[in-house]
Amino acid sequence: MLGIISFVGFTALVAIISYFATRKTDESSSDGYFLGGRSLTAGVIAGSLLLTNLSTEQIVGLNGSAYKDGLSVMAWETLAAIAIVITAIFLLPRYLKGGLTTIPGFLAKRFDTTTKTITSGLFLTGYVVVLLPVILYSGSVAISGMFDIPTLLGVSDKTALVLCIWGIGIIGSVYAVFGGLKAVVVSDSINAIGLLIGGMLIPIFGLMAIGDGSVLGGLDILISSDPARFDSTGNAGQEVPFSTIFTGMMLVQLFYWGTNQQIIQRALGAKNLAEGQKGLLLASFLKILGPLILVLPGMIAYHYFDNGLASSDMAYPELVRAVLPKPLVGFFAAVLFGAILSSFNSVLNSSVTLFGIDIYKQHINPDAPENIVVKYGKIFGICLALAAMFIAPLIANADSLFNYLQKINGIYSIPIFTIIVVGYLTKRVPAIAAKIGIVSGSVLYIISEFVVGPSMVKAALDKAEVAGITDVDALRLIEAGAYPHFLHNMAILFVLNIIIMLVIGYFYPRKEPFVLEYTNQVSITPYKYVNQVGLAICVIVIAIYVYFAK
């Protein structure tokens, strides 16, 4: 009961603070609603970025991956720091110079309106079919397990899951749809503090459980018991082989942190370029510490449970249940609930923005005043949330929730990233090249990963079965060798798409070169130490990899 009281109290406190912090925001204007009035400061941007990224699909999923493969999966966190630095130095100045509200908005200026609409449609499809349902599902599993909702309410596991999905979905929708971006980032910033504190408690108590009350003693036991699991360079057969960090891994990171609407929208709402860059750099530095929350607990669970869990994705919730003192469970559940809400309402708010600006205003009612655009954006957000809540219970447990999510996202992430890169680095590649690039990238990826790849893997495993091979590790190596890793395939298709677009641009160039005009909406004077701080962060990341490389 104490846990439930602390859970409700902390959640209510965040809601109240968010309400009073956003009362003066003009929600009838697109800048006021979609970008928080372009008034966000560095600390708010950094906190919101971190908590938007941290949710149960990250916390549960990535720790599950660490349970299986060890430290090598930290690439999803540490390499994000480099991607954020690149975004701060190269992408954000261009975004703010053009006064962008959405990333597809740039594509309309660079190519044409149809390209923008196709891109917005891809984003929205990915959000409603994949990302939002996964956030709701994984979050509901965690909350239901922490409070043992089936026993508490006397219902089945399935009913408890549905109740949690709708509870999270409704509360998250209120934040995102009716509060706008500023309500989202304020609640994110408050929850980020709690998540950092609560997230650090799990590895601390986990190490104490291993080391008979000593954190350092537990860490020493964890390392000495299986030093190979502390190798930063992943091997073939693991989720993140070392070679992938030089190919598709960096492309995924650059797309997510540099072009994904749900993430970059926080920086687009910066009061000026300097504040936006400082916020991104602060977030990138904190991402270096991410493995302490998102990787180390999974490795502790592997040792604590002696690799005896039925599913790797149960590593984190089982460790929390085993090592966290009961009085702290309510606080941690509230923090985790905030993280779930953050990712859900951030994606939903970005969806509302994409629809309102890029679809409703552009195609449905071009003459609509801003308050009408916001109104119908909110209506669309409600419909989107309802759709996600209906889809979420249909998601089945995957072998690795986090890896599955990244693989599915490749359908739209790499094609979109390709046309943005070509759009910024060239001046005469035409709109038809962008359209072909989006379609070819998506279709080729689907064929590669969901048709050709599975058939080749199945053939290899069937051959192994005939040969009498049953060892799990041996089968993983056979599966890995049967077809290139999906991150390698992303890099191959990225290069192929760029070549296709450049060839089209060579034979059918634009009549006039593209010029990005300065809209004077915010100051684009950069943070004077952006290059030095960015370089320092990159050096730290490389040093961490070198230190842990075996």
DSSP 43-97: HHHHHHHHHHH-SHHHHHHHHHHHHHHGGGGGHHHHHHHHHHHHIIIIIHHHHHH
Per residue in 344-361, pLDDT (tens digit) is: 766 777 777 778 777 887
Mean pLDDT of the chain: 81
Q: What count of other Cβ atoms lies within 10 Å of the Cβ of residue 81?
A: 25
Q: What count of other Cβ atoms lies within 10 Å of the Cβ of residue 110?
A: 23
Q: How far apart are CA 408 and CA 134, in angstroms?
A: 11
Q: Are 350 and 212 a contacting pair, CB within 8 Å?
A: no
Provide CB contacts within 8 A for 416, sequence distance 6+. 119, 122, 123, 255, 259, 438
Task: Check pLDDT > 60 for residue 372.
Answer: yes
Helix, strand and coil content of the chain, in percent to the nearest 5, comes to 80, 0, 20
Q: What is the CA radius of gyration of the chain?
A: 23
DSSP 214-257: -HHHHHHHHHHH-GGGG-SSBPTTSSSBGGGGGTHHHHHHHHHH
Phi-psi region of 532 (alpha: psi -120 to 50; beta: other; left: phi over 0): alpha
* Residues paired with residue 40 on neighbouring β-strands, in sequence order: 270
More confident residue, 437 or 127: 437
268: buried, middle or exposed (CB in 10 Å: 19+, 13-18, 0-12)? buried
Task: Work out the pLDDT band at 18, boundaries 50, 70, 90.
Answer: very low
Q: How far apart are CA 491 and CA 488, in angstroms?
A: 5
Q: What count of other Cβ atoms lies within 10 Å of the Cβ of residue 428?
A: 14
Q: Are 324 and 102 a contacting pair, CB within 8 Å?
A: no
Work out the average pLDDT over 502-518. Answer: 90
Task: Work out the pLDDT band at 376, boundaries 50, 70, 90.
Answer: confident
Please provide residue 234's backbone torsions phi and psi, each rounded to the nearest 5 degrees: -70, 150
Please provide residue 467's backbone torsions phi and psi, each rounded to the nearest 5 degrees: -80, -5
| Tokens read off for 355 | 């629809």
Task: Check pLDDT > 90 for residue 134.
Answer: no
Q: Are 276 and 96 a contacting pair, CB within 8 Å?
A: yes
Task: Check pLDDT > 90 for residue 540.
Answer: yes
User: What percent of the chain is modeled with pLDDT above 70?
Assistant: 83
- Give the pLDDT score at 107: 86
Please provide residue 503's backbone torsions phi and psi, each rounded to the nearest 5 degrees: -65, -45
How far apart, in Å, do the first and last CA atoms of the chain sit? Answer: 47
- Give the pLDDT score at 33: 41
Highest mean pLDDT among 6-15, 210-219, 303-312: 210-219
Q: What count of other Cβ atoms lies within 10 Å of the Cβ of residue 451?
A: 10
Residue 23 DSSP SS3: coil
Work out the average pLDDT over 183-207. Answer: 75
Q: How far apart are CA 69 and CA 39, in angstroms?
A: 42
Q: How many residues does the chain have?
A: 550
Task: Check pLDDT > 60 for residue 9.
Answer: no
DSSP assigned state of 470: -
Q: Residue 36, Cα to own-chain centre: how many angstroms?
A: 21
Q: How many helices (H) and strands (E) in the chain?
A: 27, 0
Task: Check pLDDT > 90 for residue 430.
Answer: yes
- Give the pLDDT score at 35: 45
* Residues paired with residue 241 on neighbouring β-strands, in sequence order: 234
Phi-psi region of 509 (alpha: psi -120 to 50; beta: other; left: phi over 0): beta
- Give the pLDDT score at 533: 93
The most distant pair of C-alpha atoms in the chain lies apart, rounded to whole Å, by 72
Q: How far apart are CA 368 and CA 63, in angstroms?
A: 47
